[in-house]
Chain A
Amino acid sequence: DIQMTQSPSSLSASVGDRVTITCRASQTVTHYLNWYQQTPGKAPNLLIYAASALQSGVPSRFSGRGSGTEFTLTISGLQPEDFATYYCQQSYSAPPTFGQGTKVEIK
């Protein structure tokens, strides 16, 4: 199975900050990398697919980059509703696997 590792595991930031989360795969996943946001008690919500494509309805302050084994999710101008846990997930090969999550907390 492909292992997905996110860093950091958690971070503290303020409203308006620019935040970057990194996701590394144990082997290449080309561009088959997705990002999800999860708030407490809610289901995950797809933000980014194919490494950099913004899912419909997702604000443009979210952006994704990368290919191969290293990827980033950037939130430009953190909003109060963005304080959540973020997961990366590879869909390159079965089984689909997720990173352990990055919790973005209010500073």
Chain B
Amino acid sequence: EVQLVESGGGLIQPGGSLRLSCAASGFIVTNNYMSWVRQASGKGLEWVSIIYSGGGTDYADSVKGRFTISRDTSENTLYLQMNSLRADDTAVYYCARDGILGTARYDAFDLWGQGTKVTVSS
């Protein structure tokens, strides 16, 4: 079955660090663009970071310099290392596959995990 399963969320104090994991099955992470998208409670969706199939990365301005996206080929797993956490990082974090669809190769988030909740609070 093709799926993504996140883990690693929890309650963390401001300034702390947390690493999220996203285990993939049914496809190879390194052959795809993979992103993290977050959603604060009752709010909309916010893209956080992407790792391209070639290994390049990009980040939202709001997390640049604090978060690091990476992947493990042997584990077929995506990670998000979050440092210097702030209250406004509190959200459900989803990993998502940025699939290439159709003959014209448009991209869209075609596979999502169930999400893992991160709460930053003292």
Contacts and interface: CB of A to CB of B under 8 A. Distances in A.
Contact of B113 (A43, A55, A95, A96): A43
Main secondary structure of the interface of A (DSSP, over half): loop
B102 A49 contact: yes
Contacts, number: 62
B46 A98 contact: yes
A50 B102 contact: yes
Interface residues of B, number: 21
Contacts of A89: 45, 108-109
A95 B108 contact: no
A32 B109 contact: no
A32 B44 CA distance: 19
B106 A50 contact: yes
| Best-buried of B46, B94, B101, B104 by chain A (most CB within 10 Å) | B101
Contacts of B107: 32, 49, 91
A46 B109 contact: yes
Contact of B44 (A31, A87, A91, A94): A87
B60 interface: yes
A13 interface: no
A83 to B, nearest CB: 17
Contacts of A28: none
Interface of B: 35, 44-47, 50, 58, 60, 94, 101-102, 104, 106-110, 112-115
Interface of A: 31-32, 34, 36, 42-46, 49-50, 53, 55, 87, 89, 91, 94-101
